[in-house]
């Protein structure tokens, strides 16, 4: 697929007074062809200093030719980061990469012979099924479906796990190809995409995939080190999201009457590493929740149910103006919703 044929999200943050950009950096994922979820994440400069304004305008631009004639639903989450003090007393991020979490064994958990616990996956971030670290679960998935899970993690930890294909309705009849694939993607609470060591497994009997975060979760990762401005999005603790998607390019056209062959998989997810203290944030004066969202699709929960929230809500001391703004924007494409509807129709 040509890059220009993909769907991308371009975000900018501007000063409404002079229209100058206040955007510190921005990322846009191009994984619609494998996950049906596209994320775009933008980070502002420090408000009042590098961005001399009392408010910021968020500009969202859709790029690429994919589904150019169709409307797509989007969810926007906003996270405000107030002034912070790091665990060692620093009031600025580490830029020489001298701070790291304590090293521990990061062995990826094995799938045992025990009976896995059946689980009902979520269909979006807002109803993601919560996983217990180390627990083995099982679920069915059909072509075109994307399933959502979450697991809590703290600073200093990594997320890792293993997934195995154990059953397929057509008894793994390849119909002339070996192209059916299960894809995994990870995100933090700000909806920023997180790189996994491995991200897909072929649909074949007892094929399995070990996966893990490439880095530990440390707030310093938000600001990068050395010549690298940022070292991925391993900077936010709290719920970490994992999506599982089944793609079958040989499936052909489907509609509401289609009977899609389910695949059964088992999975275990864990957190490893020694927990380290995180930053202490000052509070914003006289305000509660500052998140703003719009529902991504009819099948999802209402905006009030979204778990997007301000980092400042976790804190309870100090006063200060806004310092950083992080915006995560996600698009759920139609195929994800179709997969969900057909899955439920098949199971009913």
Residue whose C-alpha is closest to residue 261's, from 195, 180, 185? 180
What's the CA gap between 182 and 83, in Å, rounded?
A: 41
Residue whose C-alpha is closest to residue 40's, from 29, 56, 24, 54? 29
Strands 146-153 and 129-130: parallel
For residue 92, what pLDDT is reported?
61
For residue 347, what pLDDT is reported?
47
List pLDDT tens digits, range 45-104: 778 777 888 888 888 877 777 667 777 777 888 888 887 887 666 666 655 544 455 555
DSSP state of 127: G
What token pair was written down for 64? 């690429």
The answer on pLDDT for 339 being more than 70 is: no
Residue whose C-alpha is closest to residue 27's, from 45, 13, 39? 39
List pLDDT tens digits, range 187-213: 998 888 888 998 889 998 899 999 999
At 34, phi and psi to the nearest 5? -115, -20
What token pair was written down for 273? 């590493």
What's the CA gap between 12 and 18, in Å, rounded?
A: 14
Residue whose C-alpha is closest to residue 161's, from 221, 228, 105, 213? 213
The answer on pLDDT for 149 being more than 80 is: yes
Lowest mean pLDDT among 77-86, 186-195, 282-291, 297-306: 297-306
The answer on pLDDT for 130 being more than 80 is: yes
Higher per-residue confidence, 63 vs 319? 63
Domain boundaries, the chain: 3-347
Strand residue runs (E) in 111-171: 117-118, 129-130, 136-141, 146-153, 158-168
DSSP, residue by residue, 93-125: --SS----PPP---PPPPP-SSPPEE---BSSG
What's the CA gap between 28 and 192, in Å, rounded?
A: 9
Lookup result for tokens 């707030």: 219
For residue 264, what pLDDT is reported?
96
pLDDT bucket at 322, cuts 50 / 70 / 90: low
Q: Which strand (E) or helix (H) includes residue 130?
A: strand 129-130
For residue 66, what pLDDT is reported?
67
What token pair was written down for 5? 């044929």
């Amino acid at each position: 697929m040509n890059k220009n044929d993909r769907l991308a999200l371009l975000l900018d943050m501007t000063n409404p007074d002079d229209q100058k950009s206040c955007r510190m950096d921005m990322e846009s994922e191009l994984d619609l062809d494998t996950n049906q979820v596209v994320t775009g994440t933008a980070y502002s400069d420090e408000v009042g200093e590098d961005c001399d304004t009392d408010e910021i305008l968020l500009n969202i631009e859709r790029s690429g030719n994919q589904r150019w004639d169709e409307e797509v639903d989007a969810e926007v989450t906003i996270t405000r980061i107030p002034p912070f003090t790091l665990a060692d007393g620093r009031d600025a991020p580490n830029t020489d990469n001298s701070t790291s979490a304590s090293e521990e064994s990061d062995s990826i958990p094995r799938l045992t012979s025990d009976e896995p616990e059946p689980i009902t996956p979520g269909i979006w971030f807002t109803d993601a099924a919560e996983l217990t670290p180390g627990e083995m679960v099982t679920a069915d998935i059909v072509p075109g479906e994307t399933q959502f899970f979450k697991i809590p993690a703290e600073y200093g930890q990594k997320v890792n796990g293993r997934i195995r294909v154990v059953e397929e309705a057509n008894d793994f009849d390849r119909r002339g190809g070996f192209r059916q694939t299960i894809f995994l993607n990870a995100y933090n609470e700000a909806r920023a995409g997180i790189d996994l060591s491995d991200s897909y497994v072929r649909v074949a009997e007892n094929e399995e995939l070990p996966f893990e975060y490439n880095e530990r979760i440390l707030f310093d990762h938000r600001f990068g080190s050395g010549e690298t401005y940022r070292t991925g999005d391993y900077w936010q603790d709290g719920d970490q999201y994992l999506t599982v998607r089944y793609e079958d390019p040989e499936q052909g056209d489907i509609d509401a009457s289609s009977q899609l062959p389910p695949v059964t998989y088992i999975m275990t997810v864990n957190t490893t590493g020694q927990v380290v203290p995180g930053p202490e944030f000052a509070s914003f004066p006289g305000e509660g929740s500052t998140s703003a969202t719009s529902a991504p699709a009819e099948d999802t929960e209402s905006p009030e149910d979204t778990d997007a929230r301000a980092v400042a809500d976790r804190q309870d001391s100090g006063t200060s103006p806004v310092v950083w703004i992080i915006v995560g924007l996600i698009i759920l494409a139609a195929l994800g919703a179709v997969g969900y509807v057909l899955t439920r129709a098949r199971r009913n």
